[in-house]
C-alpha cells in the first residue's frame, strides 16, 4: 500500500515580482524559506518513525523547498525534470502583464495560463495539459511499481493537479471542466487501502506553514 505526501513549493520570488514561474529558476523568498522550515518541523514530528523516499522537481524553488524539508527528515531528495511545472514556452522570463496580452488560447477565469482545453497551448512552445500528463505518466507508473511504500513529492501547482488526477484514475479530458488546484506551501496526503482503493485524505493542507 502506498502513502504519498505531496508538497507544493513554498513562496518564491515570482510570487512577489510579477514575473512568470514556469521553467524560470526563481529561488524562494525569505518567507518561503521559513515556510519550508515549518513544513520540515511539522513533518519530522508526524512521520518520525517511518521511512520515506523524496522526489522533487529540479527547478530551484522546488529544489530548495525539498532540501530544507529533507534536512529535518534526515533523507536526501532525488531531483528530476519530470516533476517540473508546465513549460510555458515563449512566456518564460516574461512578466504576468506580458502574458495577459499574448495568450494564444482561452484560459480559465482568474488564471494566466490554465488553458480551457486539455490540448490547447497558451503560448508558442508551451506544454498543454495532455503534454504534462504524458510527461508524468512514466514517473507515476514507476513509483506505483516500486517497493517503496512511503513517498514525498515536491512539485508545482499545475503539475500536482495532473498528478492527483492520475492518482484518482480520472480521464485527462476531465480537465476540460474541472481542476484540483493548490496553494504555495500546501500539503496533500494520499494512500491506498488494502483493497487498492485510491484515497486523497487531505488536499492542499496549509496548516504546515503556520
Encode pLDDT of 113-147 as tens digits.
999 999 999 999 999 999 999 999 999 999 999 99
Query: What is the structure's pLDDT at 175?
Result: 96
SS3 20: coil
Q: Which domain holds residue 127?
A: 3-209
Encode pLDDT of 60-96 as tens digits.
999 999 999 999 999 999 999 999 999 999 999 999 9
SS3 56: strand
Q: How many CB atoms lie within 10 A of CB 24?
A: 19
Q: Measured between alpha carbons, how far is 97 from 119 in angstroms, rounded to an integer?
A: 24
Q: Measured between alpha carbons, how far is 138 from 52 in angstroms, rounded to an integer?
A: 20
CATH code (residue 194) = 3.40.50.1240
Backbone angles phi, psi at 6, to 5 degrees: -105, 145
Is the confidence at residue 3, as pLDDT, over 90? yes
pTM: 0.97
Rounding to the nearest 10 degrees, give the CA dihedral for residues 42, 43, 44, 46.
Answer: 90
Beta bridge partners, 5, equal 152, 189
Total number of domains in the chain = 1
Amino acid at each position: 500500500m502506498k502513502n504519498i505526501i505531496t508538497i507544493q513549493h513554498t513562496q518564491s520570488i515570482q510570487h512577489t515580482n510579477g514575473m512568470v514561474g514556469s521553467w524560470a529558476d526563481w529561488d524562494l523568498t525569505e518567507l518561503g524559506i521559513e515556510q519550508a522550515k515549518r513544513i520540515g518541523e511539522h513533518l519530522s514530528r508526524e512521520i518520525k518513525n517511518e521511512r520515506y523516499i523524496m522526489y522533487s522537481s529540479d527547478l530551484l524553488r522546488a529544489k530548495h523547498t525539498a532540501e530544507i524539508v529533507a534536512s529535518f527528515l534526515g533523507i536526501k531528495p532525488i531531483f528530476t525534470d519530470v516533476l517540473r511545472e508546465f513549460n510555458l514556452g515563449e512566456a518564460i522570463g516574461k512578466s504576468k502583464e506580458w502574458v495577459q496580452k499574448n495568450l494564444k488560447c482561452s484560459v480559465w477565469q482568474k488564471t494566466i495560463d490554465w488553458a480551457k482545453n486539455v490540448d490547447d497551448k497558451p503560448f508558442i512552445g508551451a506544454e498543454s495539459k495532455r503534454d504534462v500528463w504524458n510527461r508524468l505518466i512514466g514517473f507515476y507508473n514507476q513509483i506505483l511499481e516500486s517497493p517503496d511504500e512511503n513517498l514525498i513529492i515536491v512539485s508545482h501547482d499545475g503539475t500536482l493537479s495532473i498528478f492527483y488526477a492520475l492518482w484518482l484514475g480520472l480521464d485527462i479530458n476531465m480537465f476540460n471542466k474541472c481542476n484540483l488546484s493548490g496553494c504555495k506551501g500546501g500539503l496533500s496526503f494520499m494512500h491506498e487501502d488494502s483493497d487498492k482503493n485510491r484515497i486523497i485524505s487531505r488536499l492542499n493542507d496549509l496548516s504546515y506553514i503556520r
